[in-house]
Chain A
Amino acid sequence: MQHQTKHAEFWFAHDLLFIKYKQDISITGAIALQIVKDRIQIQKGLAYCICCDVRGVKRIDKPARNYLAYEGAALCKAVAFLVDYPLSQMLSDFYIRTSRPPIPMKICMTMEEALTYLELYKYV
């Protein structure tokens, strides 16, 4: 089943949660809060591995990075970021290395790479 929100699309497949951010989105603190809220409601209390397509993200501010890194880690087993070169790759790299989210995360250039990575954490 697919869930459409103002900022992203969510759907489940292969026991994974897929999130695709809308094109050209600038993530602010308030948007991050809404995204985490939507995600947790959709997950209905279950923890998932998440494949997060961030190729549409063009900006993410400091309050959003902080919120996603800590509050946003709730009910996440691991996250694979699907990125492209150079912008979303840099944004994801910067986020992982400076906000230091407390869950395993990887930057992936292809969907195949992302799925292979998430297999490691799926049944943990």
Chain B
Amino acid sequence: MSDFNKKNRIQQIQNALIEIANGNFYYQLEISELNDELDTLAMTVNMTLEEIKTRFIYDGFANVNESYMQLVQMYFVLNIQDQIILYNIGIKKILGYSRIELKDVTFSALLNKPSQKIWQNFLKKSNSKKNPYKEKDLLLVFRTKIGMVIKINCLIGRHFDVKNDRDIFLITAVEIAKRSKKRKLRLQQKVRRRGQKAISNVANNLKPKVHLSTQDISKIRSVHQYLLTHLEQQTPSLVDLAHMAGTNEHKLKVGFKKMYGETVFRFLLQERLRRASILIQHSDLPLKEIAYLVGFKSIPHFSRSFKEKFGYTPRSFRKANFSNSSSNSK
């Protein structure tokens, strides 16, 4: 095989990986049937894609600027009679139980009913002499003290505790979540504690759900990209934007919010302000010019929106930044 072919095949694998990073899991690599290392790698990519497609929980396909955190981190050590021997401190916070409430509790008692069944089946199988499980992934639902549930993939391993001459289970569970999701969860918990209804959730449930096909997603992405590349220009109406992208206003409105977490116009405003803040901080351009440069048509609107976002007017923001950088340089 020539080097050129090899280079091409590597390029294809690289392309597939970039598509994954963009949220497209529908591509497959063509296998050359040479059964060499590159074929093996391409096949691994194909199989990984199949796995991701089935395991991926829909959360918008956009590559948004979100930061992620570990929302849930738990581990338990149990004896084979299902009693909790050890657990990490975070569990008290995550599930809301005190140390006393967790004393002498079975692991099963922390789960909801369907998960209790799954867990009991697992225990039964694990304790049987015929092919007992050594390690298994289980999707379990935990009940918190305030009646919420946490659905999480757990890895359960059976080990031999040499010191105490007995078998134990080690259960670990980690869930990655968007930081904004955690903020939302906290707010919902706060609302529940006050005995109020999460009104927005009820309203959301009543709204008909919009299903986004891959074409819809790509159309909405094109609007997102259009907005970013035309920040300084007057923005077309939602209807015109939708028509430009070949979709309808409703789909664009709902789909954009679903994919990027903001309405089209809120997103545009945030991007303009973001760009403006950089120019205010690092350039000597007059504020008026910056406002027009990033697409604001009215100076009062610019100042008001800027203050809302950053807590300072553009003028005081520049002053504060200037005094900061001069004191830093001293």
A binding-site residues for B, Cβ under 8 Å = 36-37, 40-41, 43-45, 66, 70-71, 73-75, 86, 90, 93-94, 97-100, 102-103
Contact = CB atoms under 8 A, between A and B. Distances in A.
B225 A102 contact: yes
Given A40-B283, A43-B283, A75-B283, A100 B21 contact: no
B278 A98 contact: no
A40 to B, nearest CB: 4
B224 to A, nearest CB: 8
B18 A100 contact: no
Contacts of A99: 63
B283 A103 contact: no
25 contacts: A36-B278, A37-B281, A37-B282, A40-B278, A40-B279, A40-B282, A41-B282, A41-B283, A44-B284, A45-B284, A45-B285, A66-B65, A70-B65, A70-B274, A71-B278, A74-B278, A75-B283, A93-B18, A94-B18, A94-B21, A98-B21, A99-B63, A100-B63, A102-B228, A102-B231
Nearest to B286: A45
A97 B283 contact: no
B48 to A, nearest CB: 17
B275 A73 contact: yes
A-B CB proximity, top 4 nearest: A102-B228, A40-B282, A45-B285, A102-B229
Task: Identify whether the interface residues of B are mostly helix, strand, loop, or mixed.
Answer: helix
B277 to A, nearest CB: 8
B291 to A, nearest CB: 14
Contacts of A100: 63, 225, 228
B275 A44 contact: no
A71 B283 contact: no
Contacts of A103: 229
A98 B22 contact: yes
B22 A97 contact: yes
Nearest to B230: A102
B14 interface: yes
